């Protein structure tokens, strides 16, 4: 038994799935809505949004984070849809930053609202921000996102840079024949600015996303192209820990890149994460075909113990891995923006 002075989690409370993977990472979607229409994520028209009453409130999210924290979760990432479209997100950040077990609170955003919100978020306790930016060319950025917001996103990145948040991570989904000609430009960017670019392999999870295996640019190929294009070797910083993004630094110590190789080298064996959708469903894999309704428990006045036991039951059934590369692969009924990427 821990003494009254210990803050940690008892062994029995830790979340361990049936493959021995310890779950300590929770991604929370705060909205399914977005002001962008990235072609690989959602169509221009036809998305059906959740009603406000369906979304978990900030109080409900904070309660769930408390509960997960007591079960060993220490890392939280807020995402969406576009999380900064949710009103006064800094108020949620403030609540979550105060929860004792949470040591790592991060945000993934398209960057549009960052220039106006970065300071508030920082003051509320946010220290880690990933901004999605798939192209360094304004015309191509506009083509990929279907929005003319390139300058706005750069203004957001600059606001984060001025706040002194380091490192600033940029997520770039590479699609063969669309933006893979920019690999070297991204490499130059990380060597000249305090950014780490994480190249994300294109996954079949958007609506009408045009995905095909031939559109995926495998991380190995990106590394080769960067080394050839810059004349500098990339040295692994971290090889498959519990983090999906393998990190590589340039041999001269200037600049770093990361890779999320979900398709070509799935990291499922090391997966330590689960997700909660904005309407309160627990998903044990991005590609899960089933969900567990936590909102119904929270709104039905379930006690913490009951919620914990439902969470434990769901995690016991966490999938061994996704099946993207197999013929039996079935896309989940929800898209990335509806799940929380």
Q: Residues in the site for ligand SAM, rule: CB under 6 A?
A: 34, 40-41, 79-80, 82, 108-110, 132, 171, 173, 200, 202-203, 205-206, 209, 336-337, 341
The yes or no reply on residue 82 touching ligand SF4 (CB under 6 A) is yes
Q: Which does 200 bind (CB under 5 to 8 A by kind): ligand SF4, ligand SAM, none?
A: ligand SAM
All residues at 6 or more sequence positions from 21 whose CB lies less than 8 Å from its CB, including other chains: 269, 270, 271, 272, 318
The yes or no reply on residue 205 touching ligand SF4 (CB under 6 A) is no
Q: How far is the CB of 325 from ligand SAM (least distance, A)?
A: 15
Residue, CB closest to ligand SAM: 341
Q: How far apart are CA 284 and CA 88, in angstroms?
A: 28
The yes or no reply on residue 131 touching ligand SF4 (CB under 6 A) is no
Q: How far is the CB of 77 from ligand SF4 (least distance, A)?
A: 13
Interaction pattern, residues 88-127, with ligand SF4; x per rule: CB under 6 A: ----------------------x-----------------
Helices 150-163 & 114-124, crossing angle to 10 degrees? 30
Distance of CA 285 to the CA centre of its chain: 12
Candidates 35-43, 44-52, 122-130, 290-298 — which segment interacts with ligand SF4 by CB under 6 A? 35-43
Among 37, 128, 232, 331, binds ligand SF4 (CB under 6 A): 37
Q: How far is the CB of 170 from ligand SF4 (least distance, A)?
A: 13
CB atoms within 10 A of CB 233: 13
Nearer to ligand SAM, 56 or 307 (CB): 56
CB atoms within 10 A of CB 127: 16
Among 81, 156, 204, 258, binds ligand SF4 (CB under 6 A): 81
The yes or no reply on residue 178 touching ligand SF4 (CB under 6 A) is no
Residues in the chain: 341
Nearer to ligand SF4, 34 or 285 (CB): 34
Q: Which does 42 bind (CB under 5 to 8 A by kind): ligand SF4, ligand SAM, none?
A: ligand SF4
CB atoms within 10 A of CB 237: 13
Three-class SS state of 251: coil
> Which residue shows structure tokens 């990335």?
336
Q: Which does 205 bind (CB under 5 to 8 A by kind): ligand SAM, ligand SF4, none?
A: ligand SAM
Q: How far apart are CA 178 and CA 225, in angstroms?
A: 16
Strands 292-293 and 104-109 turn out to be: unpaired
> Which residue shows structure tokens 């904070």?
62
Q: How far is the CB of 303 from ligand SAM (least distance, A)?
A: 32
Q: How many of the chain's residues bind ligand SF4 (CB under 6 A)?
A: 12
Task: Identify which of 87, 127, 88 has the alpha carbon closest to the alpha carbon of residue 105.
Answer: 127
All residues at 6 or more sequence positions from 305 whose CB lies less than 8 Å from its CB, including other chains: none
The yes or no reply on residue 17 touching ligand SF4 (CB under 6 A) is no
Nearer to ligand SAM, 88 or 304 (CB): 88
End-to-end CA distance of the chain: 37
The pair phi, psi for residue 338, each rounded to 5°, is -85, -20
Per CB under 6 A, residues contacting ligand SF4 are 34, 36-38, 41-42, 80-82, 110, 132, 337
């Amino acid at each position: 038994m821990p003494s009254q002075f210990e803050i940690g989690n008892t062994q029995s409370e830790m979340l361990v799935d049936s493959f021995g993977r310890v779950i300590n990472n929770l991604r929370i979607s705060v909205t399914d809505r977005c002001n962008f229409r990235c072609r690989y994520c959602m169509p221009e028209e036809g998305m059906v949004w959740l009603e406000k009453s369906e979304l978990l409130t900030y109080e409900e999210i904070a309660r769930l984070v408390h509960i997960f924290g007591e079960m060993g979760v220490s890392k939280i990432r807020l995402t969406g849809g576009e999380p900064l479209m949710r009103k006064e997100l800094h108020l949620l950040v403030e609540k979550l930053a105060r929860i004792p077990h949470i040591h790592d609170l991060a945000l993934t955003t398209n960057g549009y609202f960052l220039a106006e919100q970065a300071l508030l978020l920082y003051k509320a306790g946010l220290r880690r921000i990933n901004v999605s930016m798939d192209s360094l060319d304004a015309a191509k950025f506009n083509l990929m996102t279907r929005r003319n917001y390139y300058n706005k996103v750069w203004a957001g990145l600059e606001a984060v840079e001025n706040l002194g948040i380091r490192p600033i991570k940029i997520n770039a989904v590479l699609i063969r024949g669309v933006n893979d000609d920019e690999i070297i430009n991204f490499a130059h960017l990380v060597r000249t600015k305090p950014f780490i670019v994480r190249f994300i392999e294109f996954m079949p999870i958007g609506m009408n996303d045009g995905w095909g295996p031939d559109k995926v640019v495998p991380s190995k190929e990106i590394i080769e192209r960067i080394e050839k294009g810059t004349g500098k070797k990339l040295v692994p910083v971290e090889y498959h820990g519990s983090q999906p993004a393998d990190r590589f630094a340039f041999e001269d110590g200037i600049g770093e890149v990361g890779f999320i190789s979900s398709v070509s080298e799935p990291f499922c064996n090391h997966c330590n994460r689960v997700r909660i959708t904005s309407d309160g469903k627990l998903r044990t894999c991005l590609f899960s075909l089933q969900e567990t309704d936590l909102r119904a428990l929270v709104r039905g006045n379930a006690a913490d113990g009951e919620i914990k036991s439902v969470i434990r039951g769901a995690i016991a059934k966490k999938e061994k891995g996704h099946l993207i590369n197999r013929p039996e692969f079935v896309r989940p009924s929800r898209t990335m923006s509806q799940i929380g990427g």
